[in-house]
Amino acid sequence: MSTIIGGQVLRDMVNDWIGDGKRVGGPGYVGNHLILYRWLHRSDELLLESYPRPHNSIKEFLFPSHEKLYHYKIDGQHIELSEAVLPDAQQIIFAARPCDAASLPILDHVFNWDYRDVFYNRRRSLTTVVTLACQDHDAHCFCTSVGGGPDDERGSDAMLFALGQDQYEVRCFTDKGKALFEGKLEESTRVGKVGPGPERRLDLETVREFLKTDFESPLWERQTLRCIGCGACAYNCPTCHCFDITDEKVGSAGVRMRSWDSCQMAMFTVHASGHNPRSRQPQRQRQRIYHKFEIYPSKFGEILCTGCGNCSRVCPVGLGITPVLTAIQEEQAARAGTGAAQEAGREKVDQ
Amino acid sequence: MVMNIYKPDLMKVLQVRQQTGDVKSVRIAFEDPARAAEFSFRVGQFGIFSAFGYGESTFNICSSSNWKDYIEFCFRKTGAVTEALWQIEEGDTIGFRGPYGNSYPMEEWEGRDLIFLGGGIAMPPIRCAIWYALENRDKYGHITVVYGARTTRDLVFQDELDEWAQHERTTIIRCVDPGGETPDWKGEIGFVPNVLKKAAIQARNAVALVIGPPIMIKNTLPVLSDMGLAERDIYTSLENRMKCGVGKCGRCNCGPVYVCKEGPVFSLEQMKHLPNDF
Amino acid sequence: MTKQLHKVCRELLESGKVQVIIGYGQKDRGQPPHPVFITSPEEVEGLVWNDQCVANLTTYLTRKEIRALGKPAIIVKGCDARAIVVLQRESQIDRSAMVVIGMACNGVGEPRLAKCAACDAHVPAHVDITIGEAVSEPVDPERRYNDLNVFMTQSTDERMDYWQDELERCVRCYACRQVCPLCYCERCVADKNRPVRFSTAPTLKGNYAWHITRAFHLAGRCIGCDECTRACPAGINLRLLNLSVARAAENAFGYRAGLDPEAEPVIGSFSTQDKESFIK
C-alpha cells in the first residue's frame, strides 16, 4: 500500500501555505535556462517536472547569504544593543533534492557543537523539508559515491515520488511530514520508482588514505592550478558554511551582519600582520577538500559533501570535488600499480 | 531564552595606555554588574573585541585571571578595527565576547622553572601568564623572561618589566635588535635566541612559553632543545585569523584543529602533528 | 586545426621558446574543455580545440601561480586576444615575453554565446601565430549592442525592477571578478576595509554598489568577452551593464578596448576634443 497525491492538490497546498503566511521555498526558473531554489510567491513558480537539480542549494533557507546578528545604537560614549528579530514563520522547503535535504543533519553538527547557533537552529525548527526523489541525474551528480542516492531519506520530512500523469506517491518520515500531508493523501497500490542515480565512481576509502599521507603532494598543485579563486563552488554547495562577520553602520545606528565567505578567496586567512597561511590557490583548494573529507569527518563523523555536484556544475573552469577526487584516485591507483609492478619485478629477480 | 552567541557584552573603557608608536593597551570592565560577577577566565584565553561601526578583532586577554575588576587587552594599529580602537578614550564603550579557547596549563607547570620568551607585540599574551605566576610565586621555580623587540621604542609594558624584576627568583632580560638600541640602553643587544643562549639559564625541570614572529620561534626552538627542554615542555600560542571564535566560521583551522576551540595554546609536540598550514 | 596546434606547441616547448602552454584540455568528453597548463612536449596531445572552448584564458596571464611556471604561450580566440592588447597597454604583461597563438573561430558555446552573434574578430588580431582559417567581416556597430537596445525599449521602472530582481540573487561569490582578465587589481576595492567602500554583505544595496563599481572600473577597458556573465552562478546578465558602458565609450570617444595596441586608453587620456556632454 502507498499514499498518493495529485500535482494540482500539491500546488493548491503550496498556495494555501503561502496564503497562511508560511514561507515556501522551492525550485523555479530564473530566465529561460537556469533553475534555482527561491522563495515562491505562487505555486506556478514551482518546478515539479523532472530535471537534474537546481544550481544553488537549500542552505540559504536556513543559513541565508547574509543575516543580521544584532543591532546597535551609538549615543556618545554609550552603546545600546538590541537583538535581531528571529524569524517566526513556519517554512516549507518543497521539491528539494535529496542531496540538499541530506545537508541539514550534516550542518546540524557544526551549528551545535558546544556553542549553539540560535539563528540556524531557529530556522531549522521552523522548517519542514519535502523532497522530490530524483528521476534524472547529470554528469556532475555523484551522490551514490558519498553514501547518498536518488531517494536518500536523510534530512527529509517527507518525500515525493513522481508516478507520471501529475501523480505523486508521498512517503512521510517524520511527524512534521505527516502533519503537512494530514488528510490530503489517498490510499493506493502504486509505488513510486526512482532513477538509477549516477554510477558510483569514487571510493572514499582510497581518497581518505591519500589525505592521511599527502598533504604536501604535488597533486594539489597539478590538479588545482586552474582554480580562479571565486566562491561559486562554496556558495552553491549545500554543506559549505564558512562565514564572515562585518559591520554596517549608517549614522549612529548599525547592525552586525554575517555573510557567506569562502576558503577559496585569497583574503580568507590573511593575518593582521599580513602573513597568509594559504597564500597560493592550490593551498586553498586543498583546504576545501580536506575540510570536506578529512576534517569534518574527524570532528563529526560525517563527510561534508552530499554529492550534489553543484561545485563542478557552476565552476567556470571545470573544477569541483569530482575532478580533484578522481585525480586522487588515479594517483592512488598508479601507486598501487607501481607497487604491484615493483613487487612483480622483485619476484622476477628472486627467480 | 536562547543565547545569541555573537552578541557581545558591553564594556566600559577604564584606561587606555599608549605602549609604543602603534601599540595601545586598554583596560575594560563589564557594564552589567551581574556579568562582571559571574565572569572568569584562565590566562592564555582570548576574546573578540568590537569597535561598533567597524567590526571585531581577536586579542588575547593580557591581564591576569586573578584581577577581578577588569580585563585588559593590547593591540597594534594595523587594520580597520584596530584603527577605530586606537581612537577610544576612557568612558567609551566597546564590545567583548569570550573568553574563548584553551589556556596555559598553569597548574601543570606548578613546581617547575618557567621560561618566557617574547618578541615585539607578542609580550601581552605572555604578560598574563607572568603576572599569574608572580601572584602565585610559591608554586613556581625560577622565572626567566627574555623579551626582545626591534628597537627600544617597540618594547611594551616596560614599566612592568621593572616591577617583575623586583620579585625573588626572577630574571628579566630585555633585548633589542642590533641597531635598535639607544646610547643609554642597559639591556642586551641581539636577537632573542642568541640572548637566550648567552644567558646560559640552568634549565632543570623547566617549561618554556615562546610567542613571537615565526622566525623568532623557529630560531629559538633549537636553543631550548639544547638546553634540554622536551617538545612537550615548549608551548606557543597561535594567532590564526578568526571571525566567530566559537568553531563555526571555518577560518582558523590548521588541519583538523580549530585554533579557536582547541587552541590557541599548543605544545611543540602537538604542533608537530599539525600539517604545514599556518 | 588541433593537429597543427599540437605541432606548434610541441615545437615551442621543445625549442625552449616557452616553458608553459596555457590552453584547453578535455579529460571527459561529456564536459566542456577546461584550462590546462602544459609544461612538457609529451603532454601537448592533451590540448584540444573545438567550439566548446569558451573560457578566456588570458585571465591566467596575471596570476602569480601561473607566472611562476615560466614564459608562456597562450591560446586565444579573437575576442580573448583583445584582453592581451589591454593588458599590454596597461603594463600588466610583457608582450614580448610570451607567444600568443590565435585560433580562427566561428563561434563557441552550446548554445552559441550571445557575443558570437556580432563577432568581427573571427581571426584573432595582434597574435604571433594564427591557426585555422575564418573570415572576419565588419559588423554593424549597433548589432553589437542588440541585446542592450532590446533591453532599453523597456521603461525606467521596468528596467529598475529587472535589476533589482537580478542583483538580489547575487551572493558575492566574485566569480565575475575572478574570471575577468582585466580585474587584476592586487587588492580589489571590494576587499578594502580602510575604509570599507561598500557593504561586503550581499545586501541589495551592496550588490548594486559592487556591480556598478565594477562596470565603471571596466569602462573603456572591458573587451566584451562576457566571461563574467558565463561564470555567474546566479545567471545575472552582467553583459548588459558592460555593453552599456562600452557603447558610451564608443559613441563618445570612438573607442573600443583592445583593438589597437597603439591607441591611448580612453580613460587614461585627455583631449580638448573630448565631448563634455556627460557633465550636465
**pLDDT tens, C176-210?**
999 999 999 988 988 887 777 788 899 999 999 99
Alpha-carbon distance B158 to nearest alpha carbon in chain A (angstroms) = 23
Sheet holding B9-18, edge to edge: B55-60, B46-51, B93-100, B9-18, B23-30, B71-76
Helices A321-350 and A281-290, packing angle to 10 deg: 90
* Mutation choice for C interface testing from A63, A235, A241 by most C CBs within 10 A: A235
- Please answer yes or no on whether A316 and C179 come within 8 Å at the CB atom: yes
Nearest CA to A239 out of A111, A48, A66, A52 is that of A111
pLDDT in tens, A82-98: 999 999 999 999 999 99
Task: Decide which of B206, B221, B237 is a domain's last residue.
Answer: B237
Task: Decide which of B74, B100, B126 is a domain's last residue.
Answer: B100
Q: Is residue B273 part of a domain?
A: no
Beta strands in A119-207 (DSSP E): 127-132, 158-164, 167-172, 186-188
DSSP code, position C103: E
Q: How many CB pairs under 8 A join A and C?
A: 105
Q: How many domains does chain A have?
A: 1
The pLDDT of residue C280: 58
Using the structure block, give the residue that is written with the C-alpha cell 571578478: C177
What residues 14-73 of chain A have any CB closer than 8 A to a CB of chain B?
A: 69-70, 72
| Per-position DSSP letters for A247-271, written without gaps between them | EEEETTEEEEEEEE--TTSTTTT--
pLDDT in tens, B188-210: 999 999 999 988 888 889 999 99
Distance of alpha carbon B15 from alpha carbon B31, whole angstroms: 15
Could you tell me what percent of chain A has a pLDDT over 90?
A: 89
- Please answer yes or no on whether A215 and B255 come within 8 Å at the CB atom: yes
Q: Are residues B171 and B136 in the same domain?
A: yes
pLDDT averaged over every residue in chain B:
94
> In chain A, what residues touch B253 (CB-CB under 8 Å)?
287, 291, 295
**Length reported for chain A:** 351
The answer to whether residue B178 neighbours chain C at the CB level (below 8 Å) is no
Alpha-carbon distance B195 to nearest alpha carbon in chain C (angstroms) = 38
Q: Are residues B130 and B206 in the same domain?
A: yes
Model-level pTM?
Answer: 0.94
Question: pLDDT-based confidence at A344, cuts 50/70/90?
Answer: low
Which of the pair, C68 or C28, is modelled with greater confidence?
C68
- Please answer yes or no on whether A232 and C203 come within 8 Å at the CB atom: no
Mean pLDDT calculated for residue range B176-188 = 93
* Mutation choice for C interface testing from B54, B57, B78, B86 by most C CBs within 10 A: B54
**Closest to B278 (Cβ–Cβ): which among A258, A277, A294?**
A277
The answer to whether residue C193 neighbours chain B at the CB level (below 8 Å) is yes
pLDDT in tens, B243-254: 999 999 999 999
- Please answer yes or no on whether A65 and C31 come within 8 Å at the CB atom: no
Per-residue cell: A333:
591507483
- Please answer yes or no on whether A114 and B55 come within 8 Å at the CB atom: no
Question: pLDDT-based confidence at A332, cuts 50/70/90?
Answer: very high
Cα angle: C219, vertex C221, C225; to 5 degrees: 105
Q: Is residue A158 part of a domain?
A: yes
> In chain B, what residues touch A270 (CB-CB under 8 Å)?
241
Sheet holding A167-172, edge to edge: A34-39, A23-30, A91-96, A127-132, A158-164, A167-172, A2-6, A186-188
- CATH code of the domain covering residue B128: 3.40.50.80
Those residues whose C-beta lies under 8 Å from the C-beta of residue C10, and which sit 6 or more positions away, are C41, C44
> In chain B, what residues touch A115 (CB-CB under 8 Å)?
5, 246-248
Task: Find, in chain B, the residue whose alpha carbon is nearest to that of C199.
Answer: B54
pLDDT in tens, B257-276: 999 999 999 999 999 999 98
Question: pLDDT-based confidence at A275, cuts 50/70/90?
Answer: confident
Q: How many CB pairs under 8 A join A and B?
A: 125
Q: Is residue B248 part of a domain?
A: no
Task: Find, in chain C, the residue whose alpha carbon is nearest to that of B82.
Answer: C194
pLDDT in tens, A187-218: 999 999 898 999 999 999 999 999 999 999 99
Q: Are residues B164 and B137 in the same domain?
A: yes
- CATH code of the domain covering residue B91: 2.40.30.10
Q: Is residue B274 part of a domain?
A: no
Could you tell me what percent of chain B has a pLDDT over 90?
A: 89
Alpha-carbon distance A11 to nearest alpha carbon in chain B (angstroms) = 36
Is pLDDT at A351 greater than 60 in this prediction? no
Helices C204-217 and C238-253, packing angle to 10 deg: 40
Question: pLDDT-based confidence at A236, cuts 50/70/90?
Answer: very high
Q: Are residues B154 and B222 in the same domain?
A: yes
Distance of alpha carbon B267 from alpha carbon B128, whole angstroms: 18
pLDDT in tens, C43-54: 999 999 999 999
Alpha-carbon distance A253 to nearest alpha carbon in chain B (angstroms) = 8
**Closest to A247 (Cβ–Cβ): which among B7, B54, B239?**
B54
The pLDDT of residue A339: 66
Q: Is residue A342 part of a domain?
A: no
Q: Is residue A64 part of a domain?
A: yes
The answer to whether residue C194 neighbours chain B at the CB level (below 8 Å) is yes
Question: pLDDT-based confidence at B239, cuts 50/70/90?
Answer: confident
pLDDT in tens, A66-80: 999 999 999 999 999
The pLDDT of residue C232: 97
Is pLDDT at B33 greater than 70 in this prediction? yes
Is pLDDT at C29 greater than 90 in this prediction? no
The domain in which residue B87 lies consists of 9-100
The answer to whether residue C111 neighbours chain B at the CB level (below 8 Å) is no
Q: Residue C170 region, left (φ>0) first, then alpha (ψ -120 to 50), else beta?
A: beta
The domain in which residue A311 lies consists of 2-337
The pLDDT of residue A341: 61
Those residues whose C-beta lies under 8 Å from the C-beta of residue C252, and which sit 6 or more positions away, are C274, C275, C277, C278
Task: Decide which of B43, B70, B100 is a domain's last residue.
Answer: B100
Is pLDDT at B114 greater than 50 in this prediction? yes
Q: How many domains does chain B have?
A: 2
Q: Are residues B80 and B146 in the same domain?
A: no
Q: How far, CA to CA in Å, does B57 sit from each of A2, A120, B4, B73, C119?
A: 56, 23, 18, 11, 51
Mean pLDDT calculated for residue range A296-311 = 96
Q: Look up the ipTM and state it.
A: 0.94
> In chain B, what residues touch C193 (CB-CB under 8 Å)?
55, 79-80
Mean pLDDT calculated for residue range B3-23 = 96
